[in-house]
Chains A and B, each alone.
Chain A
């Protein structure tokens, strides 16, 4: 049953039919008809951000914390170009978002009209797919297809560009089930023969390790549940990428902590020394593998991934399994149980003994200082004071991001929002706004660096306007800390432009926006200050002044294999060879 309506009305109706309750956006000339429709309804809440980049990151945060696609609405030209960083971020981290952009009227396209940009051209490489809709007849079906593409298979960002005349014209509305979805149907079931081979390898492995990633989270809560069951039933150790934290609980028996460049000693050595690596929804990123020709040299490798192009892209695998993590894990469990739940107990026992030795190194150990707050200590205290709450953590990008990943524990999926693939400074604050929209009563904290946070600090206006009690926990080292650390290691301590000069007074800044600011510099005051932040009913900017020249360890220098980690108090001078410098 179809109904005639304007294109603008169709947009709102299609969003409603897709179950969208929240849209992050910013108006402008080319989307005014849609904004007029938004004004005249109450089903969909529109969150006015302060910059379109913020809208996209907020939609990403919303998507990651709720498992539903995030939605943005922005105008043509500068509105669309401002969205590009967020789109690229979502593409790299496989986050389902739908961005609707206004466009100049169809008859003006190509004429360099006011606020015209080739939006589908600009965003083609940074979306999973995009559409320019030139006829109102096709608009609603295209939006429905857009939601399908964003969420099916490996999720990702999509964009629908809607010229203004298409918004004004009328046509029949196509309901959700009329969408063209048959042409994009990725394979979700894994090949049973390969799954059986993997189970055989699981039965005999002496030194197995699960290496899991964001794909487990993207596959949905059931996948995390199945992963937990498999890990606990086999008794295998498990490590995860930055993107996958929370799929397996940090308090779980098999947990080794995060792996990779700033991963834990035991996790990286387990990866290096294993004889069976089971990659579940991760992609052998270069921050994980380090030097490729020395990556886990003695292991057979399984790779479960929904994207065929991820298989054998950088690391050759012995057990490639294309499929959705949830579906494949279910089959792995089924086959393994049917064959008698076998594992190599003796081998495992020896393997765990070896791992326990590595754990004793206690690679995250630090000495709290009585004078200044060490960033590790700030994270440890934040963890202690918030871990029992209904908590969601976002981060910006830099040292603070790695400390957060190392010192905070995640018990559940969808609780950790960080820019992994693109490493986008300015991601965390708007993401925290999106998370809070999805979980209004939860404690949402953005662990930030002062430099990253300033990149999208204008969103304080959004947080205040919509009464979103997001907590901005800034580890303020007055440095572009991660850059400074690399300069220390690679460039003879020549700190070229890695200082945060002329920083604002963050407390006054918060107050200028009408919210609460807290400053803390004495370790003795830290707990009380954190409690004050948590208990305040509203957004808080927490300026945590920390040790300025702290380095983030452990660290695998670029171009080095996993067994060449630099540890906490180790000397780091001249640690990276010239070849590594090229790879940073």
Chain B
């Protein structure tokens, strides 16, 4: 169709709509970002996410190489496949960022999180809490006659499941570390 047939100034003419717009399908990815441990580096990463409207489901950071001044930031994020690609490319642009790994696509990985949960109660509820803790292999790291502090490690889903079970049994407070993750295998 010749575009010249379009009437000048006409806006009624139908527009093409042949290209599908980008998918709305959301994915959750775990990213491992190796950075120079220098002032402001975490602010740069977080600022990127807030400034561009990306989601942070979980974020952990700690120095992993004291000599080389390097830290590892583990970020769990959710977005469309296109947004996930953008996030990785944008992270890669930050000057003190050395490596960006998408553990979700680079083969299999292990993900663990540690949580502390304070549960108070007495009688049957207290006994049931202890029994469930045993099943989940959570440890008691503090106790009074009316309360426990449990320590649990596992996948975020396992921690969620444990917290859900503790809620009716007197869950008072939860502290979670966020996810630490590594690729499986020798590489």
Contact = CB atoms under 8 A, between A and B. Distances in A.
B11 A294 contact: no
B65 interface: no
Contacts of B51: 125
B47 A564 contact: no
Given A357-B4, A572-B9, A294 B15 contact: yes
Interface string B89-125: 1101111101000000000000000000000000000
Contacts of B17: 293-294, 297
Contacts of A295: 19
A132 interface: yes
Interface size class of A (residues with CB under 8 A): 35 or more
A313 B8 contact: no
A273 interface: yes
Contacts of B36: 183
B145 interface: no
Interface size class of B (residues with CB under 8 A): 35 or more
Residue among A120, A273, A293, A307 having the largest count of chain B Cβ atoms under 10 Å: A293
B40 A297 contact: no
A132 B17 CA distance: 50
Nearest to B51: A125
B15 A291 contact: yes
Contact of A132 (B10, B21, B39, B47): B39
Given A311-B89, A566-B9, A124 B47 contact: yes
A312 B82 contact: yes
Contacts of B13: 563-564
B19 A309 contact: no
B101 to A, nearest CB: 15
A571 B147 CA distance: 77
B93 A561 contact: no
Contact of B9 (A130, A357, A563, A570): A570
Interface string B131-153: 00000000000000000000000
A311 B82 CA distance: 11
Contacts of A307: 89, 93
B83 to A, nearest CB: 10
Contacts of A567: 8-9
A120 B86 contact: no
A120 B90 CA distance: 19
Contacts of A130: 40
Contact of A120 (B9, B18, B40): B40
Contacts of A171: none
B15 A183 contact: no
A560 B11 contact: yes
B35 to A, nearest CB: 10
12 contacts: A125-B51, A132-B39, A183-B95, A184-B95, A272-B3, A298-B18, A309-B86, A309-B92, A312-B82, A358-B3, A563-B3, A564-B6
7 shortest interchain CB distances as A-B pairs: A570-B9, A309-B89, A129-B95, A297-B16, A294-B15, A297-B18, A570-B8
